[in-house]
Amino acid sequence: MKHLVVIGGGTAGTLVANQLIDRLPADWALTVLDPEPTHLYQPGLLFLPFGAQDEARMVRPREKTFKRGILWLREGVEEIDTAGRRIILSHQEPIPYDLLVLATGSRICPEETEGLLGQAWQKSIFDFYTLEGAQKLRAALKDFEGGRLVVNVVEMPIKCPVAPLEFLFLADAYFTRRGIRDRVELVYATPLDGAFTKPVASHLLGSMLEEKGIRVESEFNAGSVDGEAKVLQSWDERKIPFDLLVTVPTHKGAHFIEAAGLGDELAFVATEPATLKAKEHDNVFVLGDATDLPSSKAGSVAHFQGSVVTENLLRAIHGRSLTEGFDGHSNCFIESGFGKAMLIDFNYDVEPLPGKFPWPVVGPMQLLKETRLNHWGKLAFRWVYWNALLPGRSLPISHRMSMAGKYKPEFVLP
């Protein structure tokens, strides 16, 4: 019996396992390793701080997310022995593998920034990338009566690069609804030189921040936090005082990636951009947040990569050459507050552009434009996630990006 092992039962690992199980030859077994008993719908985290009580619909028992035939071991990984092709587990005997999928994701590391985890952690400093963080922030925002709220991205790359912007848009709407917007100053401190990583979207999102009266401190590389004095300081000694700090801390790959020397300085795995094979190992594939690729760390990317990894695992099993199928495709809703959202669609080479999606002229979604339909799309996505994406069903969006229906606006400089 041959053995395919998937490490990580998040979005990426689960959808690949579910896509593969019905297509594996009879002499192959599939095991997923993940120590966590539940699967968390991460896009929901954004809405919790603003009063949503969605926890029950955001969490499912992990065993219910896998198709029949997949063996899920509730086990943590200590080490990967790539030379001996086996995985050292936390409690049980090591297990051998013939093919390995690293879907080990990314995690926030607030300990990387001096002072972030001090006395003020979860009192006046919060994250919203964990369930606990988002819930505690919800309580803090409820009691917030005015002052300066600073959102800070410590360093790139982060999971869902648009989430900090969405947080600010939603905060603007939230305080407006509570009638205290004039008493709240919103500041966005980012290491980027603008609102986003790509020019057209950065221009549009930048003007939206301006219209909503949100101040941007760009090229701000956070060096330390003084929780007692409530001051955020950059490496070049710029200071931003805050009443409430919402931090998006440094992200890293899994612990054992770091320990095994499989990753770069942030423990992300060196991955071939088009085949998604690990650069240094022929029988290892990588997808989702775990890669070192310049594509976004987002669920949609994991989904598009999933089609390519599934295809390449089957090709590897049958001894055929790999497809260079992944083009960096990413597709994200950007919640902009007041019941509206935008949609962006891009890849390694083509930045997010305005237009219609997924079909030219008829849409019905509009790219890079705030509409109510996009907002409903974002909300409906939770259903799509549990019922189509995670079970590995095909969606009406190709894993390769399409230029149909898009155009380049005139304000873009060459």
Q: Which is nearer to other proteins, 107 or 315 (CB)?
A: 107
CB of 158 to other proteins, least distance (A): 12
Q: Which is nearer to other proteins, 263 or 354 (CB)?
A: 263
Nearest Cα to Cα of residue 325 among 340, 309, 343, 313: 309
Q: Which is nearer to other proteins, 70 or 301 (CB)?
A: 301
CB of 296 to other proteins, least distance (A): 13
Starting at the edge strand that comes first in sequence, how are the strands of the sheet with 222-226 ordered? 222-226, 231-234, 239-241
Q: Which is nearer to other proteins, 220 or 381 (CB)?
A: 220
Q: DSSP 3-state assignment of 211? A: helix
Q: Which residues pair with 100 in a beta bridge?
A: 5, 284
DSSP E strands, 218-370: 222-226, 231-234, 239-241, 244-248, 251-252, 284-286, 330-337, 340-346, 355-359, 363-367
Q: Tokens representing 98?
A: 């013939």
Contacts of 335 (CB under 8 A, 6+ apart): 46, 166, 169, 170, 341, 375, 378
CB of 263 to other proteins, least distance (A): 12
- Residue 135 parent element (H or E): helix 131-143
Q: DSSP assignment, residue 215?
A: E
Q: Which is nearer to other proteins, 210 or 264 (CB)?
A: 264
CB of 311 to other proteins, least distance (A): 26
Where on the chain is the footprint of other proteins (CB under 8 A)?
155-157, 197, 219, 221, 223, 235-237, 264-266, 294
Q: Tokens representing 405?
A: 């229906």
Q: Which is nearer to other proteins, 132 or 219 (CB)?
A: 219
CB of 294 to other proteins, least distance (A): 6
CB of 293 to other proteins, least distance (A): 10
